[in-house]
Amino acid sequence: MIFCSLRSFLLVFVLLWLYVLETTAQSSANGLSASAASRKIPTAVPFLRIAPDAKIGAMGDAGVATPADANALYSNPSKIAYAEEKAAVAISYSPWLRELSTDMYITYLGGYHQIDNKSALGISAKYFSMGEIQLRDELFSSLGSYRATDLAFDATYARRFGSALSLATTFRFISSNIPDLTGVNGQSSTSATALAVDISAYHKSEIVIGKRAHGLAFGMNISNIGNKLSYLNSGEDMFLPTNLKLGSALTINPGSPQQLLVALDLNKLLVPTPPRLNAEGEIVAGRNTERSVVSGILGSFSDAPGGFSEEISEVSVGIGLEYLIYQRLAIRGGFSYESPDKGNRRYLTAGAGYQHSFMKIDFSYLFSTVPNSPLANSLRISLMYAFQ
């Protein structure tokens, strides 16, 4: 349970994720300056960037180019046009940030149906509960409690072009729910909604290594392109976590009793980088973040105050492995890295999956490599059922 005054409620709600996902204290302990530790890019509704399913979670969050299933609607919706099954549904659950709170969790439900041999439709919903927040006024009198929640609902259309390429468009409705309250100076908080779109692509082919054919795939997903959000009637609008994900996956000995999958993902937020300010609050390096969504996306490749080196530090990396035995038992592992200056999310992942007939179950576990990280010991579980 989290306690906060009325004035600080917005700060708790919007910045809680930023606080728990970065490790300023650990960075300072490692000799980083406060300015370096504060270079994380703030966005609204950051839960949209969390991989909800256990398979991707066990592979270092790398999944933009891995083989299609019902959970592809999160990582790369265009893959469902090449799914082997006619239709599938999946549900995932994760108790979240157990090092910080005992009542946060994420649930995800998704499914797709192939209309014909060229196109497919998919729908999904992602729900995040921030747990119970105890509200208090300026005199610290109790105003009761409230459970802040975020919800995203998606609809996808994917279409293949030939035997190697597929494209998809996803439309997303986002609802971020906080209590409607009025604080000092007439400032009030309110729930917020947004509309967003994803554009994704998937390309698969074969590569011959040692006279044997193996699967090679590439994926791209530009997600959460949409309007800004504001939780205060006089507050600054915040960008959605617009993100560019690029990756590749190599499947060694596909379809054999012993199959190995290697995946690599690169991620970059397409959101303005905060400028460096002097003591008077004037910009001394970088650009003003009060820009349009389009300007923010286009400028995100060149607006870092630290130049090219800081732009590179904004790219996070996910690496994953899956060893599949007799197309039934999967053993997985991975590693995810984010620069200490940009959030410092660094962790090892592990998990397993088992498929029986058309039913599949997956587990994943996260081992943080950052001391005292609230992400440590995160567990995810996913169930999926396929229809022929």
Which is higher by pLDDT, 190 or 246? 246
Is residue 131 very low, low, confident or very high in pLDDT (cuts 50, 70, 90)?
confident
pLDDT at 376: 82
* Rounded average pLDDT over 278-288: 84
Token readout for 140 is: 């610290």
pLDDT at 12 over 60: no
The pLDDT value recorded for residue 159 is: 97
* pLDDT band, very low/low/confident/very high, at 285 (cuts 50, 70, 90): confident
Q: For residue 74, which phi and psi values (nearest 5 degrees)?
A: -90, -50
Which pLDDT value is given to residue 19? 39
> Is residue 320 scored above 70 in pLDDT?
yes
Provide the b/e sequence for 81-108 (b: ≥16 CB within 10 Å).
bbbebebbbbbbbbbbbbeebeebbbeb
- Is the pLDDT at 154 greater than 90? The verdict is yes
Residue 187 banded pLDDT, cuts 50, 70, 90? low
- 346 or 230, greater pLDDT: 346
Predicted local confidence at residue 27, as pLDDT: 34
Q: Which residue has the higher pLDDT, 388 or 117?
A: 117
Taking the C-alpha atoms of residue 123 and residue 341, their distance in angstroms, rounded to an integer, is 36
Taking only the tens place, the pLDDT of each residue in 13-67 is 444 444 344 433 333 333 333 333 457 888 989 899 999 999 999 999 999 999 9
190-197: average pLDDT: 88
State the pLDDT at residue 99: 72
Comparing 197-206, 233-242, 377-386, the range with the smallest average pLDDT is 233-242
pLDDT of residue 1: 42
User: In terms of CATH, what superfamily is 2-387?
Assistant: monomeric porin ompg (2.40.160.40)
pLDDT-derived band at 357 (thresholds 50, 70, 90) equals confident
Alpha-carbon distance of 224 to 243, in angstroms, equals 7
Identify the DSSP state of 180: -
User: What pLDDT sits at residue 232?
Assistant: 66
Mean pLDDT within 98-117:
88
- Give this prediction's pTM: 0.84
Residue linked to tokens 């991707």: 56
Alpha helices (H) along the chain: 9-21, 24-29, 34-37, 54-58, 72-75, 293-299, 308-313
Show me where the domains of the chain are located: 2-387
d(CA 94, CA 342): 24
| Distance from C-alpha of 88 to C-alpha of 110, rounded to nearest angstrom | 8
* pLDDT surpasses 80 at 303: yes
- The whole-chain average pLDDT of the chain stands at 84
Average pLDDT estimate for 260-265: 97
Predicted pLDDT at 245: 97
Look at residue 368 in the predicted model and tell me its pLDDT: 86
Residue 374: what pLDDT?
79
Per-residue pLDDT for 366 more than 70?
A: yes
